[in-house]
Amino acid sequence: VNTAYKRDEMAYILNNAEAKGLVTDPSLIEVAEAAADLASCVEIKLLRDGADSNLPSNWTGFGEAHAKAQPLASLPVISPQDISMLVYTSGTTGNPKGVQVTHLMYVAAGQGFAHWTQATSDDRFFTCLPYYHANIQYYSTMGALAAGATLVVVDRFSASRFWGQVREAKATIVNFIGMMMPVLAKNDPTPQDKDNTVRLFYGSPSFPPEFLAEFQERFDTDIIVGFGMTETCFGTIERIGEDRRAGSSGGPRQHPAEGFENQVRIADQVTGTPIGVDTVGEITIHNPAIMPGYWRNEEQNTETLRDGWLYTGDLGWVDSDGFLYFVDRKKDIIRRRGENISSQEVENVIKRHPKVLDCAVLAVPSELGEDEVKAYVTPRKGATPDPEELVHWCAENLAYFKVPRYWEVRDELPRTPSLRVRKDVLRQEREDLIEGCFDREAAGIQLR
């Protein structure tokens, strides 16, 4: 469970999962105790060793419980299709959904990741992702096990400590997600930038090829990007040594075993039927390692799982060679004056500005109907982005109708455990999302 969750958030997951036991760290006991009080299903409460005597008496130390435990008379019989874990996706709308992860999914993920990264027992995997995130479970942990490699885990991502930790770990393969690479790239260059043993970075999303090339050159490493999700450990991935296709997340990931086929196709957004190449639609995936469903959520299962295909809720297109190009989340497409605008495309341009650390772009109501475009920007340390400067930057790199009208500069953005921006939180922050914002039109900036 996400360790940042508060009482009600944790209680929801405990109740939804019908959890019988709860294990926590002494530093999290206050929230865990409060959440357990709201979850009558919890019968066993275990505390990691090291707790002091002032902690609640109804908790048992893990070591004490282990010492008192009786040996199993026999081991349970496990099928590859049995549920191994409920991984709650933070999502960007509503309550988290419990993805039922099977034993087959975990094993296939590890075998696949070792294959895609060409990992061996000589490799040293490094990750700073939390264990409540599927990436570290599927790829770092299971990938290292499948390859017989070493895995080094640090407690959190820190841009200032990252390269020191990587050097100390003598890491050769590093997983990244979300904004980690852009943040590292915006650190001031140092003579030590190439002083590392990392041969490969893997992660998502797909960044502009110029950014990836600059990162590879600066840090003397290789990068492959992919498209994936908790609901299936198989999506798409670039191949090591293959020429990069601008904007692509690679082709369908395949398993080294014969008979395991992974397919990615594009479906019509309305009918759900397959459509041809070079046409934007919903990304759908079919393979043996797709989740059997969300826990206790039949309505969502009916929408997401159809005829053996996983409907991802993401928009994209494939070229004639089957390479995938992600466009946006379906719900994040902005409709402005008859034009469809990808929020990710606009975000990619804004993020390239030297004063910008990160940003989020979303739709806000327009007095003319449909949407207007608003950008939330967080500045790079020591920088002060000027909205007018950012408007002109966008105008140089985007069609005029894609340039955000409204701008809000702020210290931070709400995030999921995978460091994605919580756009649902931004949409609900206040009733009037444009009050107090810089307004490009009110400032008299004409773009045509």
pLDDT band at 237 (very low <50, low <70, confident <90, very high): very high
Question: How far is 433 from 364, CA to CA, in rounded Å?
Answer: 7
Q: What domains are there in the chain, each with its CATH number?
A: 7-68 (no CATH), 83-259 (3.40.50.12780), 336-439 (3.30.300.30)
Q: Average pLDDT of the chain?
A: 92
pLDDT band at 91 (very low <50, low <70, confident <90, very high): low
Q: Which of 87-96, 146-155, 199-208 is predicted least confidently? A: 87-96
- ∠ at Cα 238 (232, 241), nearest 5°? 150
Evaluate if residue 223 carries a pLDDT over 70. yes
- Helix, strand, coil percentages in the chain from 3-state DSSP, rounded to 5: 25, 25, 45
At 321, the amino acid letter reads D
> What global pTM score does this model have?
0.84
The answer to whether the CB of 357 falls within 8 A of the CB of 185 is: no
Residue-level pLDDT at 55: 65
Dihedral angle computed from the Cα positions of residues 420, 422, 423 and 429, in that order, rounded to the nearest 10 degrees? -150
For residue 183, the surrounding DSSP H or E stretch is helix 180-185
The percentage of residues in the chain with a pLDDT greater than 90, rounded to a whole number, is 75
Name residue, tokens 């960007």: 92
